[in-house]
Structure formats: structure tokens, C-alpha cells
Amino acid sequence: MAFLMKYSNVLGRFNTIQRLITASKSTTAIPSSDDQAPRPFSDMPGDSGWPFIGVVGMLAKLINGKVGKESVFHEIHTKHGSIVKLKSVGNQWLVFANEPDAVQEMFKAEGKYPSRNYYYESTINNIHKMNNWPSPMVFAHEEDWKRIRSATSKQVIPRRVGNLTPPVCDATDDLLNQMTKMSSENNGRIEDVMHLITKWAFQNTACFVFGENIDVYNTTDPIHQEFIVAGLEFIKQISLLKPLPIYDYFPSLAYRKFIQATRRMRELGKQIMEKKVVALSEDIARGVVDETRAVGILEQWLIEGKLEPEDALTQACDFLSAGLDTTKNSSTFLLYELAKQPALQDQLCAEIRTVLGDKVNPSWVDLQNIPLVRYCLKETLRMYPAIQSNIRQIQLDGVISGYEVPAGTMVFATNALMSRSTDYFDEPDKFIPERWNKKNKEDSIHPFISLPFGFGQRACYGRRLAELEIYVLLTKLIPRFTLSTDQDSIALFQGTGLRPTKPIPITIKERSL
């Protein structure tokens, strides 16, 4: 309580930092052009299976981690076509939308409070309720989700994100120096590049969320050391949780470790914020208010006063998890694909050097003016999306692929399936960033095929932060190193995020000027 009262006194006086620019208007789906009378839901192709349990055997495969042509999405599409309904346990219908127009129509029916109340969402919410923690935004629903999203939306507008460019550059310099050190001990070879990328992503995300600059390689600060251990354990154990409401009866080892790591992260988060209170008090006493500094998102939330401290800490831990997991995986996949294409690396290097000139670090503006960097990330997320499908429990009666779909139906938009389909992409299994250059294409790519950050009101909260990290990584790494790998292919597993099943080796070599 002393912590909360102390914070309340400081934040009440810290008003000048609250000047924020208006957030961008949210994107809305394009109305359907289908003028034909819709067919009844009963006519939609699919399978009802057994009474009450439906096609539980097939749906159980949704959590087996298989991707690509081994995934249940591919099996459903091959068997039933582009729009499919399958009956789940309790006679609930699930619809699988395997074409971009159908995905577009799904988002039209998502309603005022977009909901994804399925699998991990339900599990994580149940765990939070069991431990009397507030719901995290990523897994919240309806009014609770809207409340949290509204309270936190202003912290990720471009101006605020742009202020984080310098600390991301610093973290990336630390990463590159560590890569040089490790590779020099093994003839340029780094056996597990994701191990290094994970620490880099943690350093960035801790700065984003807690406003704390942590030396992930050499810190001697005991709080930072514990925070790194707890944070990485948190990420590891959440990926091992089963998407079933079983933990109140069977508290598994993964569950117990997840709870332990979460509690420790919350304790350390409070300690970090207590230090921030002291610093803020000193700034106020001196009349110093610097709105351009890289203020952590947790600090911003509390300054705004729209979230209670306990609620804000929950969102901070959740954001640390989501931001770290997706960024480390996507960055690793991108470096792997670039390592197989030396000519593309040279092209990317030339474009970066043209924009930056003699600059050591890119600015926020510079990063927006290197299109090939953006294309490389878009192509990575097309080939390796963090999740295989965007899910909505539609809130409105809708028409999808010409069929009436009642409100309350769970709809799976199988974007990972479509983004690797020859129906929509030439050579979909090849890494071709230039396919995203609209000047090179007569027909643009359908905007609802590849949605790695989701769409609409419930699009990824941290999208701009993730893009900033990876843009800076490429912009600083490629002019310094050439990359290569002797690994022709990688096996993938779908957990909370898509990840490689084995370490990915990368060999680096200093690039000549």
C-alpha cells in the first residue's frame, strides 16, 4: 500500500508529460461486393461427427504443434474446401475460412468487442482468476478487453515508439559485439543464433515495458539478474502450458513454475517501479520534464492513471511475454532466410548505406525510408507467421463465403495456410521480399491473406515496437556482417508462437566497406 500511495502522490503532480498526440484511426473492413442471396448455415460443407463430442479427434490436432502440410488446417482444406464448418464438443460449430475474402467478411462480423475466447485465451484467463490477478489484455474479452485497450492505446503511437529508437540501437550494438565475441571463438560460427537473439529481444522488451536498461550479458545488479531469470523462465513455461482448464485439479510442473516466475516478475516489477518513483520525484523537484526520453510503457500507464498498479503490472508481464516470444522467433527466421541469399544481403546493404550515409545509428525517420528492410520483414512474417490462424468469436450475424453464419460462431482465419498457397503467391516457399513492392506487380496482394499482426480493433498492440526492433537489427547488422548457413531447411513447431525445433547455426564474417 505504501508503494501505491507513494506513486499516487508523484503521478498526481506529473501532468506535463501527459500531452499526447491523437492515435491513428482504426482500420475497418471493406464491405463485401457479393450481391447474391446468402445460403443458410446448414448448407455449408463440413462434418458434424458424433453427438455432443463432434469431430473431437480432428480438432484435437489443433494443439499438436504441426504446421504446413502436416497441420490440421491443411487437412481440413484438402478434405472440405475453402469454407468449412466442423462441430466441436458441446455441439458448438467452428468455421474455417480458407480464402481471403472470407477472412475479410469474418472481421466485418467481429462486433464492438472482438473476442477470441478459445484455447490458450481461456486457459490463461482461468489461471489468472485462480491466483486473483487481473486479466491480461491479450487474453481478455468483451468489456474487460475494451477497458484495458482504451487505457493503454496511446502509448504505442508512432511518436512514442520513435523515442525508443536510441535504446534499441544501443541494445543492437551490444548484440553485434556479443556475436563478434562468440563467433571469434568458433571460426565465425554461432551454433544457436536464437540464444543471442532472445537476450537481445529481452533487453529491448524490458526497456519498452519497464523503462529499464538491462545489460543482459554482464549485469551485476541483483534485481536485473533475477529479473532476467524470472522473465526467461516465464516465457519458457507459458509455452508449455496446455490449453485446457485442468490446472485447478492437476497443477503440473510447468504450471507451478509459471506461477512462481509470474509472482517473481510482479515482485521485481514493483521494485523497479519504486526506483522510478524516486527518479520522478527528483525530476519534479528540479522542474525537469523530458517528453522525448524513452519512458517505459508501465510508467506511462501509471502516469496516465487509467490503470490501477496491480492491473498495470499484469499488462506489463503479459506484454513482456508476447513481445519477447514473437520478436525472437521472427528475427531468427529472418536472419536464417537472409543467410541463404548473399546477393539479397548485398542489395539490402547497399540500400541501407544509401539512406544512412555516414550515420552510425538510424533515426525513426530513416527506418521508414528503407523499403527493402520492410519487405524482408513482411516476407518473413508471410512464411513464418507467429500463429497459424486469426480467431474470432463473431459477435454479429454475418455472411461468409456466401453462407449465413450466426453470431457466437467461432471462426478460424487460416492465414498461414493461405500465405503458403500457390493460389495466391508465385513460389510461396521461396523467400522473395520484392513480391511486396507494389511497383513490381500488376495485381496487388490481397490485404487479408497475410495478417501476422491481426486486423482491426484487436490487432497486435506491440506491432510498431516489434517492427522497430527488427528494422534496427537489419539496419545495423547487414552493413557490418555477411551471413551464411549450412542448414538447408528447418523444422517448425507451433506452440504459443511458431518456433524452430532445433538450434539454427549462422556463420558471420565482417563485411568490407
**CA pair distance 210, 422, nearest whole angstrom:** 43
Closest CA to 413 of 105, 44, 23: 105
Q: Which long-range contacts (CB under 8 A, 24 or more apart) does 87-91 make?
A: 87/46, 87/47, 87/48, 87/49, 87/54, 87/55, 88/54, 88/55, 88/56, 88/59, 88/410, 89/52, 89/53, 89/54, 89/56, 89/59, 90/52, 91/52, 91/54
Q: So what's the pLDDT on residue 479?
A: 96
* pLDDT score of 25: 29
93 forms bridges with which residues in the sheet? 87
| Distance (Å) of CA 211 to CA 8, 167, 273, 302, 356 | 19, 10, 9, 13, 27
Q: What are the Cα distances from residue 260, in Å, to 88, 254, 264, 506?
A: 34, 10, 6, 34
pLDDT computed for residue 220 by the predictor: 86
Give the 3-state DSSP-derived string for 81-111, with helices as H, strands as E and coil as C. Answer: CCEEEEECHHHCEEEEECCHHHHHHHHHCCC
DSSP-based three-state secondary structure for 113: coil
pTM of the model as a whole: 0.87
Q: Which H or E element spans position 398?
A: strand 398-400
Tell me the CATH number for domain 2-510: 1.10.630.10
SS3 per-residue string spanning 168-215:
HHHHHHHHHHHHHHHHHCCCCEECCHHHHHHHHHHHHHHHHHHCCCCC
Distance CA 207, CA 213 (A): 6
Of 91, 87, 59, 63, the residue nearest 75 (C-alpha): 59
CB of 395 closer than 8 Å to CB of 115: yes
Question: What is the reported pLDDT for 232?
Answer: 80
pLDDT tens digit at each of 513 positions of the chain:
344 444 444 344 333 333 322 222 222 333 344 457 999 999 999 999 998 888 988 888 887 889 988 999 999 999 999 999 999 888 889 999 999 999 999 999 988 888 876 666 777 778 888 888 888 888 887 788 888 888 887 777 777 788 889 999 999 999 999 999 988 888 999 999 999 999 999 899 888 888 888 888 888 888 888 888 888 888 778 777 776 777 778 888 888 988 898 888 888 888 887 777 677 677 767 776 555 555 678 877 877 778 888 888 888 888 887 778 889 999 999 999 999 999 999 999 999 999 999 999 999 999 999 999 999 999 999 999 998 999 999 999 999 999 999 999 999 999 999 999 999 999 999 999 999 998 776 568 999 999 999 998 888 888 899 999 999 999 999 999 999 999 999 999 988 789 999 999 999 999 986
